[in-house]
């Protein structure tokens, strides 16, 4: 792996398989054990630098770093000197001056992690924990890990990603990583919620969810990201759910062994009904568990260089 993890496109097929296999080892080393800690990153410091809200990503990076015995600092822009106007550069310099070895950054601006990694401001490894509407590579890795667990392999599998692709960094990172791993990805969304240039992405697109679901090995529902919408992208929530929501009728169209994913947080009743979200073929809670193993693997490979 390179020094940073900024995009799912940073991972070659071999890199992606290495991270997935290392995640499986992390799971094996910690699952079911009363003491889940490994000494691997003792003396190293990981800073979680969050300029945007998070539940899963921030806590799982924290837990992952702690399980590897690293010191962890959680920094959120709210309540920090960012509110006094301090820049990203000065914030990063300040944190590195305290000895950060790795900066895990979530930012509302697409490209902020790249700026941190390549501006020469800091020497630490940078991990993108979600930048604007751009990318969320560790989410894509945990999704691929979850798919691999349930489908055996991702290669040749048909994965359907549904909803607000336009605002979704999860969709972009997933399309890139799943294509690298050999999956056939289809994006389903209203035309207004597909990004310009999507025809150049390594996937297919459709507006007809029912016809795609019958052939899917897995379906990933995306959150409708109202906080990023400054206009009306669909007539009403009811209309959106009717055309693009996963309800019991649509769920029944899926092949029997297909699984349902959602990165969270969910809008229950909007893109997915509670009945489907809580069904035994939903792997949404398991995605969160797998996120800890994947983030352990990423921190280990970046900071210990896979040495031990
Ligand atoms: N939690 C994911 C993200 O931060 C997905 C979402 O918010 O809808 O990108
Ligand atoms: N899936 C995800 O990134 O969740 P959070 O926004 O809660 O971190």
Q: Determine the residue of 56, 174, 261 to mutate for testing ligand 2's pocket, defined as the one with the most ligand atoms within 8 A of the Cβ atom.
A: 56
Reported as type and span, the H/E element at residue 126 is strand 125-131
| Burial readout 121-141 (b: 16 or more C-beta within 10 A, e: otherwise) | bbebbbbbbbbbbbbbbbbbb
- Are residues 76 and 141 both part of a single domain? no
**Spatial separation of the C-alpha atoms in residues 224 and 29, rounded to whole Å:** 36
Contacts of 19 (CB under 8 A, 6+ apart): 1, 11, 141, 294, 297, 298, 301
Distance 60 CA to ligand 2 centre (A): 10
The three-state secondary structure class of 47 is: strand
Structural domain count of the chain: 2
Beta bridge partners of 73: 47
The two most distant CA atoms of the chain are separated, in Å, by 56
Tell me which residue has its CA closest to atom 1 in ligand 1. 264
For the CA of 106, the closest atom of ligand 1 is 4
Distance 265 CA to ligand 2 centre (A): 6
Question: Which residue range(s) make up the domain with 21?
Answer: 8-135+288-307
Residue 25 within any structural domain of the chain: yes
Average pLDDT per consecutive 10 residues, the chain (308 residues; last block may be shorter): 93 98 96 88 96 97 98 92 92 90 96 95 96 98 98 97 97 98 98 96 97 98 91 88 97 98 96 98 98 98 76
- Are residues 129 and 194 both part of a single domain? no
- Are residues 204 and 255 both part of a single domain? yes
**Spatial separation of the C-alpha atoms in residues 42 and 23, rounded to whole Å:** 19
Beta bridge partners of 106: 50
Contact 222, 171 (CB under 8 A): yes
- Are residues 142 and 278 both part of a single domain? yes
- Are residues 93 and 48 both part of a single domain? yes
| Res 79: pLDDT | 86
Beta bridge partners of 105: 49, 128
**Spatial separation of the C-alpha atoms in residues 10 and 302, rounded to whole Å:** 13
Contact 22, 297 (CB under 8 A): yes
Query: Is the CB of 263 within 6 Å of ligand 2?
Result: yes
Q: Determine the residue of 61, 136, 264 to mutate for testing ligand 2's pocket, defined as the one with the most ligand atoms within 8 A of the Cβ atom.
A: 264
**To which residue do tokens 């809008």 refer?**
267
Query: Is the CB of 206 within 6 Å of ligand 2?
Result: no
Strands (E), 43-109: 45-50, 71-76, 102-107
| Res 50: pLDDT | 96
- Are residues 170 and 107 both part of a single domain? no
Tell me which residue has its CA closest to atom 6 in ligand 2. 54
- Are residues 218 and 297 both part of a single domain? no
| Res 308: pLDDT | 46
DSSP 8-state class, residue 246: B
**Spatial separation of the C-alpha atoms in residues 111 and 120, rounded to whole Å:** 15
**Which CATH number is 160's domain given?**
3.40.50.1370
Does the reported pTM lie above 0.95?
yes
**Spatial separation of the C-alpha atoms in residues 257 and 278, rounded to whole Å:** 16
CA dihedral 199, 209, 241, 133 (to 10 degrees): -30
């Amino acid at each position: 792996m390179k020094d940073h993890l900024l995009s799912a496109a940073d991972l070659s097929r071999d890199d992606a398989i290495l991270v997935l296999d290392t995640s499986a080892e992390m799971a094996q080393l910690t699952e079911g054990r009363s003491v889940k800690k490994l000494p691997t990153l003792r003396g190293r410091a990981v800073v979680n630098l969050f300029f945007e809200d998070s539940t899963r990503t921030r806590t799982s990076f924290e837990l992952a770093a702690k399980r590897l015995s690293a010191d962890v600092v959680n920094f959120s822009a709210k309540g920090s000197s960012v509110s006094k106007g301090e820049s990203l550069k000065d914030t990063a310099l300040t944190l590195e001056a305290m000895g950060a070895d790795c900066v895990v950054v979530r930012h509302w601006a697409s490209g902020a992690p790249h700026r941190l990694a390549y501006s020469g401001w800091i020497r630490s490894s940078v991990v993108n924990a979600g930048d604007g509407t751009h990318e969320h590579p560790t989410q894509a890795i945990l999704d691929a890990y979850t798919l691999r667990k349930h489908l055996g392999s991702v290669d040749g599998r048909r994965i359907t990603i549904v909803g607000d692709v336009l605002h979704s960094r999860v969709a972009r990172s997933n399309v890139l990583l799943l294509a690298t791993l050999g999956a056939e990805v289809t994006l389903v969304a209203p035309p207004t919620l597909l990004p310009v240039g999507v025809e150049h992405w390594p996937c297919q697109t459709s507006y007809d969810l029912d016809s795609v679901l019958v052939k899917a090995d897995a379906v990933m529902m995306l959150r409708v990201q109202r906080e990023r919408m400054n206009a009306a992208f669909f007539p009403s929530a009811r209309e959106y759910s009717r055309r693009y929501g996963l309800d019991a009728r649509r769920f029944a169209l899926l092949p029997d062994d297909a699984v349902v994913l959602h990165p969270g947080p969910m809008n229950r009743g909007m893109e997915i009904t509670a009945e489907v979200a809580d069904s035994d073929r939903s792997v949404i809670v398991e995605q969160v568990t797998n996120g800890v193993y994947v983030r352990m693997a990423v921190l280990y490979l970046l900071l210990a260089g896979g040495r031990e």
